[in-house]
Structure 1
C-alpha cells in the first residue's frame, strides 16, 4: 500500500478554533507584507533548550526469536541538564549562552542577553542596524513578553514579529537548529556541565567550515526559508516534521499555495 505506521505527535496545547484562525491570519498578513516589502533578511530569532547529560534512548532491534536485545541503563528521572539560549539569523549564529545551575530565565536575564546579542550583531551585520533594523522572532514565553524586555526592545529599536500562542512548531530554532542538535547529541553522555557545553560548541563548529565567531555567519542560509516554512506550516501546506533541508524552497512558493 506504500504506507508506514506513525505515532501521533504530542503537542503542548490543543488549539481552539480561534487560535487556529489567528495562525492563518498571521500567515496571510506576513505573506502580504513580504510581497510588498521583503523583510526576511532582517529576522533575528532565538530560543532556549535543555541539553541533557544523558542522551541515550532505547531503540528497536531486529532479532531472532530467542535473541536478547542490548541493555541500556534507565536514565535518572531527575537527571542533570543545562540550558542554552541561541540567537541566530539568516547569516548564522549571532550569540549563545549557558544558564548557571539553578538559574532560571527571567525578564531581567533575557533583557541582558538581548543587549549582549545586540552588541555582537553590530559587529556582524552593522548595515542591518544602521538601516531598517532587525525584526525579532521569539515565542510568547513570560520572560520574552515582560515589561523590562519590552522597554529594552524599544530602547534598541527592535520590531517584534507576531507569534501565535502555543505554536512552538513555528520557531525556526525548534524545527531546524535544535532538531539537528538533537541528532548530534543522540547517544552521548556527559560527566559534567562543562562537557555538555563543549558538546554544544562542537555542534556549532561542525556546522561551519570556520572557527571564528564572524565565520558563524555561514552556518545556515535560511533567509526566506525562515518565513516561508513558517507560513507553509501555518497554512497546513507542509508538516513541521518534514526535513528543513529537503524542502529546498526558492523565493516563490506558488507550488504550495
Structure 2
C-alpha cells in the first residue's frame, strides 16, 4: 500500500499548479492532504476509484484536511475528541482492517510563540487520542506536524532554537510521542541523511538553496515498522511551500 501526505497550502491553488499530474503519477492507494483552505462545494475533484473524505475548518479559507482512498474505510472519524480542537478541521481518522490512518495538520505556534500553549494542548490531546487507537490496532499518523524534531531536520538549527517549530517544548512533545511506541518512518530508512526537507519559506529563495525544514511525517506504531518498505520525500514536486512525502507498507 502506497500512501502520500502533502500540505498543499490551498488545494484550489495547487490544482492550478499541477496537482493532478502528481496525483496520477504517484498512483497512491491513500492520499492525505493538509491545509486545504476551502469549504464544502468550493471544489470538484474527479477521482474515479477513490473515496473522498473532507474535514473543513469553520473559518473560511483556513486549515482543513482531506483523505482520498481507494479502499473504503470501515469507519471515518472527524477530529480528536477534544472540544478545544473541533473547529479547525485538523484531523481525519480512517479505520481499515489492519490499522488506523490518522491525518493531522498540527497548529503552528506562530510568530512570537503566541499560540504555543494551544499547540502544546493539541499535542497532549493527539497523543491521548492516538494512544487509545493504538491499544486497539496499529496506527499510521501522517501530516504536517509543524516541528523539526532534531537538528538534522532543518538547515539552521542554532538560529531557530527559540522559533516556532523548533522550540524545546515542541521537540520534546515529538520525543514523547516516539517514546510512546511510534517510529519516524523516514528516519527508519534514512537515519543520518541531512538536507532532506519538506518545507521551505517563500522568502529569499529558500527552496532553490535548500534552506528548509523537515516538518511533515509518517509516524507508525513500532510494531508496524517491519512491514514498511520505503519512505521518501518528493522534494522535486512544487506547487506548495511543502512537498509531498510517501510511505509504502506491505
TM-score of the two chains, using structure 1 as the length reference: 0.24
TM-score of the two chains, using structure 2 as the length reference: 0.24
Indicate the structure (1 or 2) with the bigger Cα radius of gyration: 1
User: Which structure has the highest strand share of the two?
Assistant: 2
Tell which has more relative contact order, 1 or 2 (C-alpha 8 A, sep 6+).
Answer: 1
